[in-house]
Amino acid sequence: MNYSLAIHGGAGTIARASLTPEAEKNYRIALQAALQTGAAVLAGGGPALDAVEAAVRSLEDCPLFNAGRGAVFTHEGHHEMDAALMDGHSGRAGAVAGVRAVQNPIRAARLVMEATEHVLLAYPGADELAREHGLPLQPPAYFFTEFRHQQLQEAIAAGRMQLDHASAPTAPADPNWKKGTVGAVARDQHGHLAAATSTGGMTNKRYARIGDTPLIGAGTWADARCAISCTGHGEYFIRAVAAHDIACLMEYKNLSLAEACRIVVHDKLAPAGGEGGLIAVDAAGNLALPFNSEGMYRAWQDADGSGEVAIY
Ligand code: ASP
């Protein structure tokens, strides 16, 4: 096999005790389905960009993850979703921030890249672009999940912005928080790379808060050397310009993908308090999936054909 693919469904403190076997099974099934969706594109000789978009769309349509359908609530009780993708071969990128209606924010991000001369569109203007081009829009009820609504009440009571809550709806008072942002990175059969990331952001976030996900270089990056998709407390990833820093370490210091990822996740983000992780692929198809949190929902398929779904 001469392609590689990795996906994530968020990183953070995923308490084993609060993840029921039933919930764990559902997460694994959803991750496996998204991986297969992306891998089918690559196996057919399709471009990395199509593969990462397809994998992320699959996760956006699943209410278990904090993106698209399962997006968390803002303080005011709305959903404001961010997404970005980047094509390493052409260097082109597209992103949306604060969209409220488009069913698949990652498709809107691609539209920004392909149908406009811009990189990042935000708020009603970004939803409007999606509407103009016929992308499906949804009413607020589509994005409502009881579990997320419960998280919002808890976050408001705690008086702070929260990373996505521990996954089991049966343990709403669990003090451990996880993040459920989704992302994908791929190397296609032509050796081209791409990355995509999509999120609802953080529960109880202030109106108009934008995280790292849609910021090219912070939460999402791809060039000829590497493709990166991050998940974690966005403000830390923005200040660290985390995704692009990996590309810089590889280019200027000639480090391997694994070493560059280790430095950013463990030596830079962790000491600063930047909890989270990322998935990465290089031009040879090597994968790295480091995280400094207790777990990260992830799945991958290597160039040698071996693949796995993992949480811890
Ligand atoms: N990075 C995302 C944000 O800060 C959250 C996450 O990864 O769960 O918006």
Q: Where are the domains of the chain?
A: 4-310
The answer to whether the beta carbons of residues 133 and 97 sit under 8 Å apart is no
* Residue 13 pLDDT class (50, 70, 90 cuts): low
- Model confidence at 11: pLDDT above 90: no
- Relative to beta strand 81-87, strand 93-99 is antiparallel
**Which residue's alpha carbon is nearest to atom 8 within ligand 1?**
179
- Per the annotation, the verdict on 181 as an active-site residue is yes
Residue at token pair 């096999």: 1
Query: Given 145, 181, 197, 231, which residue is catalytic?
Result: 181
Dump pLDDT digits (tens) for 117-171: 999 999 999 999 999 999 999 999 999 888 888 889 988 998 877 666 444 333 3
What is the Å distance from ligand 1's center to 231 Cα?
Answer: 5
Closest ligand 1 atom to residue 201 Cα is 9
* Calculated CA dihedral for residues 144, 146, 147, 150, nearest 10 degrees: 110
The b-or-e profile of 70-91 (16+ CB within 10 A means b, else e) is bbbbbeeeebbbbbbbbbbbee
What is the Å distance from ligand 1's center to 132 Cα?
Answer: 28
Q: Which CATH superfamily includes the segment(s) 4-310?
A: (Glycosyl)asparaginase (3.60.20.30)
Pocket test for ligand 1, best of 79, 233, 275 (most atoms within 8 A of CB): 233
Dump pLDDT digits (tens) for 107-120: 999 999 999 999 99
**How many Å from the N-terminal Cα to the C-terminal Cα in the chain?**
27
Residue list, ligand 1 pocket, CB within 6 Å: 10, 66, 164, 179, 181, 199, 201-202, 211-213, 219, 231-234
Among 145, 136, 167, 171, which residue's Cα sits nearest to residue 71?
Answer: 145
Name every residue whose Cβ is closer than 8 Å to that of residue 91 and which is 6 or more positions away in sequence.
223
Closest ligand 1 atom to residue 233 Cα is 4
**Distance from C-alpha of 75 to C-alpha of 226, rounded to nearest angstrom:** 36
* Average pLDDT of the segment spanning 256-266: 98
The answer to whether the beta carbons of residues 214 and 200 sit under 8 Å apart is no
Backbone dihedral angles phi then psi of residue 180, each to the nearest 5 degrees:
-120, 15
